[in-house]
Amino acid sequence: MATRTSVPGPAPRAVAAGRYAQAVRFTVLLVIAVVFLLPMYMLLVTGFKPFSEATADQAWLLPQTWTVDNWITVWGELSPALWNSVRVVVPSSIISAVLGSLNGYVLAKWRFPYADLVFTLFLFGMFIPYQAVMIPLQQMLVSANLMGGVFPLVLAHVVYGIPICTLIFRNFYAAIPDGIVEAGRVDGAGILRTYAWIILPVSAPAFAVTLIWQFTSAWNDFLFAVFLTGPSSWPVTVQLNNIAGSGSAAVPYNEQMAGALLASLPTLVIYLLLGRYFMRGLMAGALKG
Amino acid sequence: MRRARTWLPGLLLVSPSIILIGVFVYGMIGWNFQLALSDKHKPIQDGAFVGLANFIDLWSEPRWTNAVGNAIVFTVVFVGGALVLGWLLGLLLDKGIKGEAALRTIYLAPMAVSFIATGLVWRWLMNPAPAERATGLNALFANLGLDSLVNDWWTSPDFGMAAMGLPAIWQLSGYIMALFLAGFRGVPEDLREAARVDGCSEWQVYWKVVIPQLRPVLLSAVIILGHMSLKVFDLIIAVAGKQIITDVPAIFMFDMVFEVRDPAKGATIASYMLLAVAAVVIPYLIWTIRKERSEGR
């Protein structure tokens, strides 16, 4: 932060102390960053090693021979699951974002009696442990004969995505001046026309945040997937966990690491390219802090 | 009250979501409680109402008390660790520093990846094998001559759950950093300046002006980490699989549903998880909405 010009400049000694403090801060931050990168480093180098090098004594070394064989092997094992993930994540993100947008619009600009209570009840849905709905949800889907395929998972991500999407859109629309909506009303525009002509055209940033947020959380979900899908519709998290087995000594770690990286690429790429929107989704999860 | 014509269209537009949330959140929670209050201990049996019997019986099971104890240890380590590290990172970044954007990107990246994928990496890193068979962190410590740090990680009966907190801290402390950084930078410069004019040192400005302003951020962070911690599942599955040593309520519940096939017991465990989360989240939600309303929103 820039020093204000109205305040007399600090004495030379204070400047030196400031530089020293800055160097210490930078060093500490750098050391923590290196520690944070260790798992990433491990993931990357092990994924490119042949099996003969994925051993204890070479664990931290760079590969002597770089290979993409692991990638080819795990692609064969993961590609159907990756496709399932896409088939779940794309429709569920879009549907929950659209519902969130409508809810957010009404809760911010077209309030009805007890709107606060409804909003609070929605928000609680954001925090519930999904274990508390899991058994009934599964039973209901079984008795309605809706199990199988990716439908149960799409349904779950749509429904349980509504709270966070509503929250993001409501806070976004709250910043739009009420006067604009009122003017539309006075001119006789109904709720949908006001939405289509005034609200929707400015909603792109909020859609970006919700779509990215929903995409990431649905892609990374594991709990709903193990409860609600069968082998033919397993998304990539479940398939990845199956490939890795449960801790036997003979598991080829090089392939596991390649698989973990492959399964994480979509969300990592989104984070690196669109981190700004990813961040805003994160902050929305903290309500208004 | 305004006339219905002005608010009814809004209610209609939200009604699909109200129905979905009503059925799939509150309806399912009610159904789950009903199951937990029954003796439906086999999937094909019709359950009869038995009151709180399941809720009481659970406490006489060693596996349950062990799982609860583990969840508490994990929560203390994970929530405490992520808060301290996240707060420290936020504090160090607050005044801006060379390469800030790159540093923030690094700290936040783990957030983007699933617990399953990071769990696999940490399983390799926290491989308990000693000395020459060591992989991961044990190998690193041995190479660096830090043999005293070589340990059993999550397989240790004493510190296993504490070790399990490390990947979770790694994954979430960047998020906490972001919350605190936003909080730090949200403190008006006027306030800091006023304190400086009053003769406070930079250090005092932080302790007396900035940090007291961060209580709401701290509360949000505790709620978010706490509710995640109480339902930890994927991370443990990926690192340890289903081992008694790292058993937690979510794993216990999963076993009851899929292995033992005892719906009533699974529902009872799920109900306890919900009650634990509700106990921290509901007061927080009420407080937030009230605060928002008093600020005239």
Cβ–Cβ gap B117/A29 under 8 Å:
no
Of B10, B139, B269, the CB nearest to A60: B139
Mean pLDDT, residues A221-243 taken together: 93
Any A CB within 8 A of B5 CB: no
Span of A5-9, A196-200, A233-237 with lowest mean pLDDT: A5-9
Percentage of the residues of chain A whose pLDDT score is greater than 70: 92
Q: What is the spatial distance between Cα B167 and Cα B235, in angstroms, rounded to a whole number?
A: 8
Any B CB within 8 A of A168 CB: no
Q: Is A85 exposed, middle or buried (0-12, 13-18, 19+ CB in 10 A)?
A: buried
Alpha-carbon distance values, A42 to A74, A263, B140 (Å): 17, 16, 11
Residue A2: pLDDT band with limits 50, 70, 90 = very low
Which residues 41-100 in chain A show a CB within 8 A of chain B? 42-43, 46, 55-57, 59-60, 99
Q: Is B131 exposed, middle or buried (0-12, 13-18, 19+ CB in 10 A)?
A: exposed
**pLDDT tens digits, residue range B218-277?**
999 999 999 999 999 999 999 888 777 789 999 999 999 999 999 999 999 999 999 999
One DSSP character per residue, B13-64 reads HHHHHHHHHIIIIIIHHHHHHHHHTB---STTSPP-B-TTHHHHHGGG-HHH
Alpha-carbon distance values, A226 to A146, A207, A244, B112, B256 (Å): 16, 29, 15, 20, 14
| pLDDT, averaged across chain A | 88
Residue A11 predicted with pLDDT over 90: no
**pLDDT tens digits, residue range A31-58?**
999 999 999 998 999 889 888 887 777 7
Q: Which of B14, B202, B275, B291 to mutate to test the interface with A (most CBs of A within 10 A)?
A: B14
- B277 phi, psi to nearest 5 deg: -65, -45
* A227 or A184: which leads in pLDDT: A227
Task: Break chain A into its structural domains and give their ranges.
Answer: 12-47, 70-288
Any A CB within 8 A of B183 CB: yes
**Separation in Å, CA of A261 to nearest CA in chain B:** 7
Orientation angle between helical segments B160-186 and A12-47, nearest 10 degrees: 140
Q: What is the spatial distance between Cα A68 and Cα A66, in angstroms, rounded to a whole number?
A: 7
Mean pLDDT, residues A159-179 taken together: 94
- Do B86 and B94 touch, CB atoms closer than 8 A? no
Quick one: which of A91, A75, A92 has its CA closest to A239?
Answer: A75
Output the pLDDT for position A5.
Answer: 45
| Full set of structural domains in chain B with CATH | 19-59+260-297 (no CATH), 68-247 (1.10.3720.10)
Alpha-carbon distance values, B77 to B112, B164, B172 (Å): 22, 9, 12
Residue A3: pLDDT band with limits 50, 70, 90 = very low
Cβ–Cβ gap A60/B178 under 8 Å:
no
Contacts A193 to B, Cβ<8 Å: none
Which residues 62-91 in chain B show a CB within 8 A of chain A? 85, 89
Residue A228: pLDDT band with limits 50, 70, 90 = very high
**Separation in Å, CA of A219 to nearest CA in chain B:** 8
Q: What is the spatial distance between Cα A176 and Cα A189, in angstroms, rounded to a whole number?
A: 17
Which residues 118-157 in chain A show a CB within 8 A of chain B? 118-125, 127-137, 140
Contacts B117 to A, Cβ<8 Å: 237, 240, 260-261, 263-264
**pLDDT tens digits, residue range B131-152?**
667 778 877 787 777 777 778 7
- Do A74 and A263 touch, CB atoms closer than 8 A? no
**Separation in Å, CA of B133 to nearest CA in chain A:** 6
Any B CB within 8 A of A182 CB: no
Span of A100-109, A128-137, A188-197 with lowest mean pLDDT: A188-197
Span of A9-13, A15-19, A191-195, B250-254 with lowest mean pLDDT: A9-13
Cβ–Cβ gap A119/B117 under 8 Å:
no
3-state secondary structure of A246: coil
Contacts A121 to B, Cβ<8 Å: 21, 25-26
Distance of CA A160 to the CA centre of its chain: 14
Any A CB within 8 A of B180 CB: no
**Separation in Å, CA of B112 to nearest CA in chain A:** 6
The helix (run of H) or strand (run of E) holding residue A137 is helix A131-143
Residue B201 predicted with pLDDT over 90: no
Contacts A111 to B, Cβ<8 Å: 7, 10
Residue B12 predicted with pLDDT over 90: yes
Query: Which CATH homologous superfamily contains domain A70-288?
Result: MetI-like (1.10.3720.10)
* Residue A23: how many other CB atoms lie within 10 Å: 10
One DSSP character per residue, B94-160 reads TT--TTHHHHHHHHHGGGGS-HHHHHHHHHHHT----GGG--HHHHHHHHTT-GGG---GGG-TTTH
Quick one: which of B37, B68, B44 has its CA closest to B248?
Answer: B68
Q: What is the spatial distance between Cα B233 and Cα A226, in angstroms, rounded to a whole number?
A: 11
* B145 or A95: which leads in pLDDT: A95
Span of A11-20, A272-281, B284-293 with lowest mean pLDDT: A11-20
Mean pLDDT, residues A11-30 taken together: 82
Cβ–Cβ gap B250/A131 under 8 Å:
yes
